[in-house]
Structures are given as C-alpha cells and as structure tokens.
C-alpha cells in the first residue's frame, strides 16, 4: 500500500487572502460626503462662503476644522488634532489587528472597523472637551437661548449635536 501525503488546508489559504487584502484597504473617519455635503456650490471662488448658501453639515465641518479665510470662524481642528494625538495608539491597535489576521482570528474589515470606531469616539471626545477658541459672544448667547433663558453655551463645536453625531467610519476593503 502506497503512503501519500494529504494536504489539508486548515485556514491558511483564507489567511493569505486576508493578508493580500490589507494592501490598499483603509478606513475613512470623519464627516462623509453623503451626509448632506454640498462642497462646491457653497463657496465663492475666493473661498468665502456664499451669502445665500444653505448652511449644511459640510460647511460647518470644514469651517470649524480649518477655519474660514475671512477669519470669522477660527480653526478648531477636531479631526486632524485627534489623529495626531492618537497616532501611537492607532498604530498599536493596527499592529495588534494585523497579528490577529495572521493568527486567523480576524479579517481586514473587522480590524479597520475596530480602529475606526475607536477613532470616532476619540474625535467626539475632542469635540466635547473643546473650549477654545471660544465662539463670539453673540454665538454663545444664541446657542444658550436654544437651551433656555439666560443660558450661555461655551463649547464652540457643540450646539444641536448634529456635527458630533455625523462623525463616522467607513471601511474601504480591497476585494
């Protein structure tokens, strides 16, 4: 009786496929373009906001992240500053995630989702904790009136919570 070698795949091919999917895969974190964004039609050629433009999520997000050219809204970076601050922790989470892919316990999508969820929470915390640069006095009072008589709101990024709740992650995974 001839002895033969039986080659059984116990998951190695799946692991190799997942490893191949890492190259070119990423997670987008922030206000996504399908969240009511109208980027081009809301700005004049000089970069200032059109007077008749509807204030939408995109305008609020970009104006606060980068500030406006006319200086009416100062830069209040909540995405870039958080990404810089969390770079080490994010890298560590990715390294651990890649290890779990090699061990066959995770997929590229699930690792990116976990990192994305972590960063969404950190960005939202940055938004909650921000106190400077302050809003103009008129803006603080207007935000306060929506909360109740005599209330002054001092958080420059939180009013209705719409911007904060629009921060999300979206994974782009190579097939």
State the pLDDT at residue 79.
95
pLDDT score recorded for residue 168: 93
* The predicted structure's pLDDT at residue 161: 80
CA distance 40 to 139: 26
Residues of the chain with confidence (pLDDT) below 70: 1-2, 33-55, 150-153
What are the C-alpha distances in Å from 18 to residues 70, 99, 110, 151?
Answer: 48, 12, 11, 53
pLDDT of residue 9: 74
Which helix H or strand E contains 161, and what residues bound it? none
Q: Which two tokens stand for residue 148?
A: 């109740």
How do the domains of the chain map onto residue ranges?
12-172
Please report the pLDDT score of residue 37 as a whole number: 46
């Amino acid at each position: 009786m001839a002895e033969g070698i039986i080659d059984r795949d116990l998951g190695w091919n799946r692991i190799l496929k997942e490893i191949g999917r890492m190259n070119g895969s990423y997670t987008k974190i922030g206000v996504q373009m399908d969240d009511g964004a109208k980027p081009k039609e809301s700005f004049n050629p000089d970069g200032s906001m059109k007077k008749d433009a509807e204030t939408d999520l995109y305008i609020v997000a970009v104006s606060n992240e980068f500030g406006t050219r006319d200086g009416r809204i100062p830069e209040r970076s909540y995405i870039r500053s958080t990404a810089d601050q969390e770079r080490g922790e994010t890298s560590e989470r990715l390294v651990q995630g890649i290890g779990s892919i090699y061990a066959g316990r995770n997929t590229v999508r699930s690792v990116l989702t976990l990192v994305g969820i972590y960063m969404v929470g950190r960005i939202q915390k940055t938004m909650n904790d921000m106190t400077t640069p302050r809003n103009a006095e008129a803006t603080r009072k207007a935000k306060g009136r929506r909360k109740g008589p005599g209330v002054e709101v001092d958080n420059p990024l939180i009013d209705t919570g719409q911007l904060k709740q629009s921060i999300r992650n979206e994974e782009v995974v190579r097939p």
